[in-house]
Structure 1
Amino acid sequence: MSKFHLALASTPVDRRVLMKGAAAAGAMSLAMRVPGVAGAQEPLRIAFSVPGLNFPFFVHMVSLAEQHAADIGGIEFITLDGQEGGQPSSTKQTADLEAMVAQGIDGLVISPNDAAALAPAIQSVIDAGIPVVTVDRNVAADVLTLAHVGADNVEGGRVQGRYLIEILPDGGEIFELQGQPGASAAIDRNAGLTEVLDEQDAVEVIVSQPAAFARAEAVRVVEASLASNPEPDAIVCANDDMAFGAAEVALANGLDIPVIGFDALPEALIAIGEGRMAATIEQFPGQQATQAMDILLAFIDDGTEPEEHDLYLSPALITADNLGEAERAAEAGIEADAMEGATPEATPAG
């Protein structure tokens, strides 16, 4: 089955207005169509599982999904926090799914901590007759979920690579901080970055290490890497939390180099505006969450399946020149750009 991108139209659009409009339209439509949503006595029980609410990215995603459910009405929204001891845990996330099957739910949206490790548990949910939509991170390909909604993480990695080549016209040596081993987002972002950089030889990755999507681990990895490679020309990271740690170490060592993140968190937007980071990648987590919820609820309603299994939002490069285009610009105290255009539409993946 081919993958489709939910590509934003070339004419800009105010994404905050777009999301509110889409949420309102979705709420009205689903409230009229979904059994138990608009007036039935028994609410739908929808679980939303993420690797860990210690990640600001997932806090934002869950918050918007819960608000979307509240706007629709008639939904008992169950948040499942996959962290244990302050760290994402596939064991904890698996146990949460087992508990949901035992207690009974009508549907599941999940961002799997590890694509392979969560495969058996997600398959067990499906075997119990419960529809599953993955969001942001995917599960192993042999697990037949209803749908996957996410950013095109491979393309996001490519965007990072192209930006590095642009800002280092004379070439350079860079550090790459990968995410959590086994996470589909980490695998795909690395693949996209590697693809672009392998096509040229001016910009070279001299350190490529996982840092678990975590700020503290990024500090440790960068400090250790500087011991043998004291003057990198840039640091590219698979999420913003790692970029914050990398930027902290760069500053402490007197390195005035570009640091690139991924997620467009409000803190990253502020850091870019202040010159502590060069760029980040926007992947529109709010739109991912609401799209995933709508697909799940439509299936619960009348068995409607999405035309394509994989729906991807095209990622966008955010720099000091376009901070207002970020989904969370307002949270960073940045006035959103006045943008015109239409809602995202599905176009075939390249």
Structure 2
Amino acid sequence: MKRSIFAAVAAAVTVFSGHAALAQGETIAFSVPSLGFPFFVHMQNQFNAEAETLGVTVQNYDGQNQTTKQTADVEAAITSGVDGLVISPLDSVAMAPAVSQAVQAGIPVVTIDRRVDGVEGLLAHVGADNVKGGEAQGQLIVDMYPDGARIVNLQGQPGSSPAIDRNQGVHNVLDGMADKYEFVAEQTANFAREEGASVTEAILAGLDSPPDVIVAANDDMALGAMQVVQEQGLDIAIIGFDALPEALAAIQNGTLTATIEQMPGGQSRNALNAMIEYLRNGTEPEPEMLLTPIAITQDNIDQAERLGEIN
């Protein structure tokens, strides 16, 4: 059963925390694709803060953007005898064998943010509905440009479920109006700021005229594109995804148009509390717990989870 939660996140965490108050000293492995991405740094920090509140020990693992490294991390966690594994898999297919190995070892596994394909026996998936997040980007383009727009689409890392889902969401909204909304270029920039800049620069050089919008599958790529647009003195709307503090600051000063808030702290808290509720009380969580992302612009920036982190 799928449920969509935004306003109810705090309530859900409160319920979980009430049961989890009896500290048992569990050890939970937390594995992210790469701490080179600020999004996962924040997610890990929030996970660790919640773990301290609940009396849980965390083994943190950085996949360093390599499936071989993340696979080795999962194997190390299994060997160390952790009580549970919360993982955001770098690649939804390539990480399946390692995740399956953890399940077969009797370790409860919760995937967070990113899914893994073809693995039976997962305890739960906690994340944002990335398709709806992509749809929010697409709808914002329609609202901003009701008469049509030329669009550059900077896609995420091939094989990652957020990249696939966010791209699908954008196309869900715009493909039915292809006569008005034209994708003049679509290319991956691998969720990386440097590639976001270099890919944008190459795309702009190959176009006869600038696009109206650059939509990016994360804020790092959007910020890279923003740098190029500023350097070239162009007027192009730029829409990111993740609501990083740097992106929020850019929205405040008008250099970035919008981003998508997917509540990574809420994801971390919900994933850990679902795991601990299961370990301590045997309560099975819902198989899929999804938060609904929202578009953040200057008009509603007060709804951003990390607004208080802007310097």
Same fold (TM over 0.5): yes
Distance in 2, matches of 1:215 and 1:185, equals 17
User: Which of 10, 18, 21 lines up with 1:31 in the alignment?
Assistant: 21
User: In the alignment, is residue 79 of structure 1 matched against residue 60 of structure 2?
Assistant: yes
SS of the residue corresponding to residue 221 of structure 2 reads helix
Q: 2:198 aligns with which of 212, 217, 220?
A: 220
Contact 2:96 2:117 in 1 (8 A): yes
Are 1:3 and 2:21 an aligned pair? Answer: no
Higher RCO (C-alpha 8 Å, min separation 6): 1
Match of 1:58 among 31, 34, 40: 40
Query: Aligned-pair distance for 1:22?
Result: 6.2
Q: CA deviation at 1:7?
A: 4.2
CA shift for structure 1 position 23 = 5.3
Secondary structure in 2 aligned to 1:198? helix
- One of 256, 278, 281 as aligned partner of 2:260: 281
The correspondence for 1:196, drawn from 152, 170, 173, is 173
The reply on whether 1:106 has 2:44 as its aligned counterpart is no
In structure 2, the residue matched to 1:267 is 246
SS at match of 1:31: coil
1:203 Cα deviation (Å)?
Answer: 1.4
Larger helix fraction of residues = 2
Q: Secondary structure at the match of 2:185?
A: strand
Who is 1:211 aligned against? 189
Structure 1 residue 169, shift from structure 2 partner: 2.2
Identity of aligned residues (%): 50
Instruction: Give the aligned partner of residue 328 of structure 1.
Output: 306
Distance 2:291 2:44 in 1: 18
| SS at 1:176 equivalent | strand
Q: Name the aligned partner's letter for residue 164 of structure 1.
A: I
Structure 2 counterpart of 1:267, one-letter code: E
For the 8 Å contact 1:27–1:68, the answer to whether it is kept is no
**1:31 CA drift (Å):** 2.2
SS in structure 1 at match of 2:44: helix
Report the Cα distance in structure 2 between the residues aligned to 1:284 and 1:313, rounded to whole angstroms: 8
Give the secondary-structure state (helix, strand or coil) at the position aligned to 1:254: coil
Question: Which amino acid in the other structure matches residue 55 of structure 1?
Answer: F
- Is 1:44 paired with 2:26? yes
* Cross-structure match for 2:281: 302
Distance in 2 of aligned mates of 1:245 and 1:144: 39
Q: CA deviation at 1:267?
A: 0.5
Instruction: Give, in angstroms, the shift of residue 25 of structure 1.
Output: 5.7
Match of 1:148 among 116, 120, 125: 125
Given that residues 119 and 143 in structure 1 are in contact (C-alpha distance below 8 angstroms), is that contact kept between their aligned partners in structure 2?
A: no
Q: Name the CA distance, whole Å, in 1 between partners of 2:14 and 2:140.
A: 36
Cα distance, 1:206 vs structure 2: 1.1
TM-score, with normalisation over the residues of structure 1? 0.85
Alpha-carbon distance in 2 for matches of 1:219, 1:144: 41
Between the aligned partners of 1:181 and 1:23, the Cα distance in structure 2 is: 32
Instruction: List runs of 5+ in structure 2 lacking aligned partners.
Output: none
Contact in 2 for aligned 1:136/1:151 (Cα 8 Å): yes
What does residue 338 of structure 1 align with? none
2:272 maps to amino acid: M
Please name the residue that 1:67 is paired with: 49
User: 1:104-163 CA distances to partner (integer Å, 9 max, x unpaired)?
Assistant: 100010000000000000000000000000010111044431000100000000000010
SS of equivalent residue, structure 1 residue 145: coil
The match for 2:271 among 292, 295, 298 is 292
Q: What letter corresponds to residue 303 of structure 2 in structure 1?
A: E
Q: In 2, distance between residues paired with 1:279 and 1:223?
A: 20
Q: Residue 236 of structure 1 corresponds to which residue in structure 2?
A: 215
Segments of structure 1 that go 5 or more residues without pairing to the other structure are 10-17, 334-350
Q: Distance in 1 between matches of 2:279 and 2:271?
A: 13
CA contact (8 A) 1:215 1:243 kept: yes
Deviation of the 1:102 alpha carbon: 1.1
What corresponds to 2:73 in structure 1? 96
Match of residue 167, structure 1, among 137, 144, 168: 144
Partner secondary structure for residue 204 of structure 1: strand
Q: Give the equivalent residue in structure 2 for 1:136.
A: 113
Partners of 2:125 and 2:289 within 8 A in 1: yes
Q: What one-letter code is carried by the residue in structure 2 that aligns with 1:79?
A: N
In the aligned structure 1, how far is the partner of 2:303 from the partner of 2:149?
29
> What is the RMSD of the two structures over their aligned residues, measured on CA atoms?
1.5
Could you tell me the TM-score, scaled by structure 2's length? 0.96
Q: Which residue of 2 aligns with 1:184?
A: 161
Segments ≥4 residues shifted beyond 2 Å: 21-29, 141-144
